[in-house]
Structures are given as structure tokens and as C-alpha cells.
Amino acid sequence: MTDEIPEDEPEEPIEAAEPAAEPGSVQKVVVEARAHGWRVDHYLSRLHPNFSRAAFQRVIEERLVLCNGLPVKMARRLRVNDCLEFQLPKNPDRTLPPEDIPLDILYDDDYLIVINKAANMIVHPGRGNYLGTLAGALQFHFDKLSDVAGKHRAGIVHRLDRDTSGVLVVAKDNTIHANLSSQFEQRTVEKEYRAIAWGEVSFDRDFIETHVRVSQRNRERMMVCPEGGNSRFAATFYEVLERHRGFTFLRLCPQTGRTHQLRVHMHHLGHPIVADRLYEGHSSLKMSDLVENLPPEQEEVLLARQALHALRLCFDHPVTGQRMEFEAPLPDDFQKALGAIRTHRAKPAKPPHKK
């Protein structure tokens, strides 16, 4: 993974605490229903995103986090209506440095920005990935961004995986951020992706409806599971655009916004996305994957990341109310891989029907 290492809770954000809370101050909170089952350190870092999970773990070790009046243990799972009293870490995380990274800006007004995110770009800092992020690039290019999600995620309303390219919207103030977040939560935002999958998908179109949760064997992965516990409902509509020998080019429309949803759903369908290291096991598509007995001198890497692109995003402008639609064209590496598949794996034309 990437910037979206799955955790113990759904992707949708909880309401953050007031950003004005002073480092070292004592806070009290009653755990809401949607946080039932979350680890306490994770919950606190989501509630106060200016402080990292590691910072809250240090506070827990110092016995400065009480749950229902008793010092809490690190692995404590929260229950609805638990009363937490805790001291914020004394020092917030260091300010994210602005980085002069070029951005493909599809739209920009006084309220929001729409970006065509490149592949191999992390959306915001995560474990071991502090530089080279979209968040850092936004800090450099824009003077005003929302801060409701914390300094490390200024402006970030939603996310794409590191190796997923395409359309992403950014908020310039907290009111706009709240409006856009609500549209995502209410599922009024239309999202459309393009993907290349292994194998030939049988149905022309269908819905995939499952429950998903973090895999117990590999915490970086999500998995399809029965309903209940920490599972979350996930729904994806798909439509086959092209079938080739051993490959399918698809239109994917997620109806929910779970972590890795499209990747885990295609894996569950038996047709993992091409070059998806985490779910398919290979990190690239090579010419030798298409052509048998390819001479070594003709070997070529066609795609060095998962074949998934966020093509279209449609939402209501938070100020004007106008329905807005943005598209990001298929990037060069995606087109190169698709073109090679069309050339080398085209299905033979069917002979004319004889009466």
C-alpha cells in the first residue's frame, strides 16, 4: 500500500474536534456509535488530526488517557458511550513543508480545486512517506486551504490510492470542505473509473455487493467478509467495455467509498486489476505478459502500477449549487498498456453466420 493503509474504521471521516484545542490541554469526549470497535489511539488521532497516532500512543503509555475513569490500555477497543478523558500531546506534528511539485489543475475558483492526480503520488503523509505528497504540493501552490482535517491533510476531502491516477477535489475553506464531505457521505457524488483486469469478465454489466473489512492475515489488505462486526457494506457497478484474450477493459462506478473498494471487489470477482501488487501479486505489466516467446531484446514494461484511473467526478458546487462534472483523460501509461493489449490480445473476428 500507500497512503491508504486500512485501519479499523470506515474511510468516511468522523467529525474532527475543534482545531483550536491547545497542545497539552485536557479534553473530554463521549464515543459515538460509528466509532464502536475502534482502537482508542486510532480514534483520538482521527478526532484530533493535527496529532499523529504515535503521539497519542505515547500519551496512552503515560496513563494520561482515561476511559470511564480508568487508565486505558493501548489495544482497548471502544464501545458506544464510553467516556474518554485525555491530555492532548504537548507538541503537534511538525508543519508539512510546501513542495514545488507540478500539479495538473482541471479547475480552480475561490472555493475549490479539481486536480488530475498523477500515479505514484501519495495524497497525504503517512507511515514512512512524508515528502512528495499531494498535500505538500497543495501547500506550495495555494495560499488558502481547509484545515478541518488537520495540517497534514489541508484541503483534502477524499483520497485516491498512491498508484491510482485521476480526478480529485480539494476544498479551500472549512465550510466548503464540510459541504463536499457531506455529499460524499450522502453518496450524491458520482464517481467513474476505468480499469484493466486479468481474464475475461463473463457478464456485460452487474453489481458487486459485499461487506468488507481489514484482512486479519495482512493488515494492508481489505477482504470480503460476512456482515457484522467491523464489516462495512460496499457496492460497485461495473460494465465491460472491451474483452480481449485474457484481459477486460472495464467501467467501474463505486456506489460506496470503502478503502480499496474497487481493487478488492475485482479480486473477489476473480479478475484482479492488472499490476495491482497488493491484490494481484505483480507490480507491472510487461510485453512478455502479452506475447509468448518474446525475444529478450523486445521486453518492455508497459505499466508499472495498478491499471486503475479515476476518470470522472460529478458533484454539486457548494456555493452555486450547479452540478459540475470533471474528466481526466487516460494517462499515457494506461493508454500504452491498453493499446498493446488491443494489438496483441485482440479476439479473432467471429465468422459470418451461415444460413
Residues known to be catalytic: 161
Collect all residues with Cβ–Cβ distance below 8 Å to 155 and sequence separation of at least 6: 113, 135, 138, 142, 145, 146, 170, 171, 172, 177
Q: How far apart are the C-alpha atoms of 288 and 299, rounded to whole Å?
A: 6
Q: How far apart are the C-alpha atoms of 99 and 308, rounded to whole Å?
A: 26
CB atoms within 10 A of CB 185: 12
Give the Å distances, CA to CA, from 177 to 69, 182, 318. 35, 9, 9
Question: What is the layout of strands, in order, in the sheet containing 70-71?
Answer: 26-30, 83-87, 65-67, 70-71
The Cβ-side half-sphere exposure at 152, using a 13 Å CA radius, reads: 22
Q: What are residue 313's DSSP bridge partners?
A: 191, 326
Q: How far apart are the C-alpha atoms of 177 and 173, rounded to whole Å?
A: 6
